[in-house]
Structure 1
Amino acid sequence: MKRLLSLLTILFFSVTAVSAQQTDTLKKRINFHFQLTAINQSHPAFHAPYSGRNSLQPGAEEALSLTSTMFIGARLWKGASIYFNPEISGGRGFSSAVGVAGFPNGETFRIGSSAPALYLARLFYRQHIALSKEVDTACDDANQITELVPLKRITVTAGKFAIADMFDNNSFSHDPRTQFMNWSLMSAGAWDYPANTRGYTDGIVIEYITPAWAVRIGTVLVPTYANGPDLDYHYGRAHGHVVEVQKNMVFGKRKGSLRVLAFRNVSKAANYKEVIDGYINHSDSLNVINGQKYGGVKYGFAINCDQELTNDLGFFFRGSWNDGQTATWAFTEIDRSGSLGINLSGRSWHRPNDTFGIAAVVNGISSSHRAYLAAGGYGFIIGDGKLTDFKTENVLETYYSALINTSLKISLGYQFIQNPAYNADRGPVNVFSVRAHIII
């Protein structure tokens, strides 16, 4: 970890020096940005009469995660750019990031192991195709060169990226580095969005964008096994498709957006009922991690809304569902989820760049998934060895983010998790968080 911190310090000051020399102009061909996020979490001991292989450990725990990303962008030709994101991650989540479907640290999604590791997060090409003469200026930012963007356009993104970069966005609840940290708040919980262990995939996304509407379609790769580090390049037999329609709205001069998403994944994900039947007949084991054959299908839907209520207050909600017949393959073991919350800026107490947020989530699973866990089955993130008292997993999260200077935000957070892993025999769990986020 000392080597990691030394390297990150060098990167930080290097990018700071480069950024100080940059100007936000249409002539600039290359840009550099940098982020570092450290999250320290702890939970006291909680009630648990028994534990399994994938249980959150009932003793008091403390865990630190750290991720750092360099964002490098280059202008190619009119409407075209390419982006390259090397990333370093290290640390861990509670109990090796198992035991809660709505896991409390969204950054542990990117940490494959506790040892610091350097890897390629994103490498993608973006092309805007103008459908109108009217343009707007897209300002310099992470993975965004300053450019004139047609108000009505087709945008093609191809390469390596996180599919959640473009789908299921939400102004108030999408980024665990600056907003809510719980997995089921950063994305629609029941969308098993295709990605490797670190949250990235390969594929192509095509967007039709106007000021009032947007339609997105994407097709990407899925991992070779549940939550695996490697992607399956047998595209004809393993892939993920997603489509989203977005409507931008204005109510009383207050902006908002409504998004409806549908997805269908095909992989080696095992069918819960077939696995249970095989186990009863002593011809199989209660294992859905690796999968034995292609043809496992999971499909589902999500709805997502964010709406400004005043100059300082915003509201959001999400609802999502999947069929829940086959094993979760990439994100987390949630088959139904609903969340809502508010976001309040600190303007009224003279801290306009500070943010207070509070949200509640209810997560559930299908009857087949429940039967599998009750039989003693394990997925890649939950499984207490039995499930005798099923209840929905309920999460309340609140945080306060304070802007310390132009580059640093410090956040304090709290999460209350009732019935972790849908098991009313265990918990509740109280999670306390401190987060530091640097962005240049």
Structure 2
Amino acid sequence: MTRKFYFLFLAVLSGMFGVMLSTSVSAQKAGSGSDQIATFASPIDGINTEGEFLGLPVNLHGQTTYINQRYNNFTSSYSGIRSLSSDKSMSYTWSGTLFFGARIAPNTDVYFNPEVISGVAFSGLSGLGGFTNGEGSKATSSQAKFYSARAFMRHTINQAGDKVVLENEANQITQTVSSNRVVITAGQFSTLDIFDDSRYAKDPRIQFMNWGNMTYLAYDYAADARGYSTGLAGEWYLDHWVLRASRMLAPKSPNGRDLNWQIFNSYGDQVEVERQHHIAQLPGKVSILAYRNQMTLARFTDATNYVIQNNAQGTQAINYVRNNAQIKTGVGIHGEQALTKDLGIYARAFTSDGKTETMSFTEADNSLSVGIGMNGTGWQRPKDSVGIAMMQNGLSSYRRTYLQAGGVSYFIGDYNSPTQTISYSPERIGEIYYNATVIKNVLAGLNFQHVINPAYNAARGPINILSLRVHAEF
């Protein structure tokens, strides 16, 4: 299918859906059912996007997001082949997504999300642990790329319990379910669609932009280079508890575009336990997540030995020492709590074993993030939102030793000369954003990020990054 035909197909299909859709419902996500608490997930009003097509309940949603980021020259004693450029730079991404859904049986839905993206990342997406644009990994050039982001089926098995209404939104047709239920998701989707949900820090299109606020930065979740994978996930809701587990395909090579379909030899497993609660009638939750990856990866001890024995400083030595069936594990905790109906806090902490190279995400072996989210009710702008966060990211002793020996990784590596000693320090990032609803279904916002010790190097930075974001939904 050519790109022009693909675009025409999407336009015609969306037009057909637009003609057939009716019966408006509000586009808010059902959480614990409480309470009109701000979700900070989408301040944009819903429109008529749900109805019937060929006798089936269907819905259609869409989004487009433009993010422009800039920074000025910053201090740098030296730069390597994986360093962030110390010169004044600009980066941008533009994405567009259609969210098609159809209910093919009373408790079974199918969804398809074609997506297009273009953009240019800072320094070819290198030189940071916590990258500053959550859409950056999807954009490889200024030329628009079309692809399938998600194509999956969701089946719900209701059990005894209270009735909960899941209202119309992207990838959710209005549905009444039991508070006690099992949900099975199979197909192409993102691991983060199921795991580590957050009311305040999840979606870089409308909340914090940094990767360390999208999820735990040290969570090396299974995905292709764009952040999607194929697999099977199950969720068991039991009153205030949720148990989640999944197996997802791993890429054929670390951070690669193609997935390895040998699911018993190369995969990412995760399990999460979540406990929801109320304090003074305000919702909150605590969750613990653990993962176990298996694929062909390089051990940092082997890569360090290769650098030293072959005098291979300044090279990506991990490419030459990969072994089959390497295991990587990690565990983290996430908590959040609404303090008022318009203000909430959250925190995430995670650690991975750090013995092997990154499989799918970024260069971090431990991470911590804390922040707050607030709506603008106090200044008569209830659909505006503000967020403030602080992050600290670190590397394991195995990865630090490799870098200090002169090795280079996929995203980082400041090695420059045999006389240079890399000064390791945790990477620290502060982020603040403000979003304003300018017209119906469109918001515009500013984001500022201050990065200390970029790529864990105290000899470089700090960096101040200013971002402009425009986001629209239907």
> TM-score under structure 2 normalisation?
0.88
Distance (whole Å) between structure 2 residues aligned to residue 15 and residue 101 of structure 1? 42
Letter in 1 for 2:96: S
User: How far apart are 1:202 and its partner, in Å?
Assistant: 0.5
1:308-355 CA distances to partner (integer Å, 9 max, x unpaired)? Answer: 001221000000000000001101001000110111110010000100
* Counterpart position of 2:329: 299
Asked whether the 8 Å contact 2:427–2:452 carries over to 1, the reply is yes
* Counterpart position of 1:345: 375
TM alignment of 1:180-259, pairs within 5 A:
180-259=208-287
Quick one: structure 1 residues 181 and 13, their matched pair in 2 at CA, closer, same or farther if it must change by over 3 Å? farther
Asked whether the 8 Å contact 2:51–2:58 carries over to 1, the reply is no
Letter in 2 for 1:165: D
List runs of 5+ in structure 2 lacking aligned partners.
Answer: 26-49
Letter in 2 for 1:420: P
TM alignment of 1:10-409, pairs within 5 A:
18=18, 21-24=21-24, 28=52, 29-132=57-160, 134-282=162-310, 286-289=316-319, 292-385=322-415, 388-409=422-443
* Counterpart position of 1:410: 444
Distance (whole Å) between structure 1 residues aligned to residue 320 and residue 338 of structure 2? 44
Distance (whole Å) between structure 2 residues aligned to residue 388 and residue 110 of structure 1? 30
> TM-score under structure 1 normalisation?
0.94
Asked whether the 8 Å contact 1:393–1:420 carries over to 2, the reply is yes
Letter in 2 for 1:251: I
Letter in 2 for 1:227: N
User: How far apart are 1:109 and its partner, in Å?
Assistant: 2.1
1:258-278 CA distances to partner (integer Å, 9 max, x unpaired)? Answer: 110000001111000011112
Asked whether the 8 Å contact 1:245–1:261 carries over to 2, the reply is yes
User: How far apart are 1:281 and its partner, in Å?
Assistant: 2.3
Asked whether the 8 Å contact 2:154–2:185 carries over to 1, the reply is yes
Task: State the number of aligned residues.
Answer: 435
Distance (whole Å) between structure 2 residues aligned to residue 49 and residue 11 of structure 1? 51
Letter in 2 for 1:382: I
Asked whether the 8 Å contact 2:119–2:140 carries over to 1, the reply is no
Distance (whole Å) between structure 2 residues aligned to residue 378 and residue 355 of structure 1? 39
List runs of 5+ in structure 1 lacking aligned partners.
Answer: none
Distance (whole Å) between structure 2 residues aligned to residue 17 and residue 232 of structure 1? 35
User: How far apart are 1:404 and its partner, in Å?
Assistant: 1.6
Asked whether the 8 Å contact 1:15–1:34 carries over to 2, the reply is no
Letter in 2 for 1:250: H
Residue 101 of structure 1: SS of its match in structure 2?
coil
Residue 158 of structure 1: SS of its match in structure 2?
strand
Asked whether the 8 Å contact 2:292–2:330 carries over to 1, the reply is yes
User: How far apart are 1:16 and its partner, in Å?
Assistant: 11
User: How far apart are 1:17 and its partner, in Å?
Assistant: 8.3
Letter in 1 for 2:336: D
Residue 305 of structure 2: SS of its match in structure 1?
helix
1:426 aligns with 2:456: no
Residue 135 of structure 2: SS of its match in structure 1?
helix
User: How far apart are 1:14 and its partner, in Å?
Assistant: 5.4
User: Is 91-100 or 121-130 further displaced after alignment?
Assistant: 91-100
Distance (whole Å) between structure 1 residues aligned to residue 434 and residue 103 of structure 2? 37
Asked whether the 8 Å contact 1:112–1:197 carries over to 2, the reply is no
Letter in 2 for 1:380: Y
Q: 2:469 aligns with which of 425, 435, 439?
A: 435
User: Is 272-281 or 344-353 further displaced after alignment?
Assistant: 272-281
User: How far apart are 1:211 and its partner, in Å?
Assistant: 3.4
Percent sequence identity is 36
Distance (whole Å) between structure 2 residues aligned to residue 246 and residue 323 of structure 1? 23
Asked whether the 8 Å contact 2:453–2:462 carries over to 1, the reply is yes
User: How far apart are 1:112 and its partner, in Å?
Assistant: 3.7
1:257-311 CA distances to partner (integer Å, 9 max, x unpaired)? Answer: 1110000001111000011112322298643258633122110011111110012
Q: Which runs of 4+ in 1 moved over 3 A?
A: 10-17, 24-28, 283-286, 289-292
1:25-79 CA distances to partner (integer Å, 9 max, x unpaired)? Answer: 7964111110111100000000112111111000000111011111000001111
Residue 372 of structure 1: SS of its match in structure 2?
helix
Asked whether the 8 Å contact 2:68–2:93 carries over to 1, the reply is yes
User: Is 402-411 or 427-436 further displaced after alignment?
Assistant: 402-411
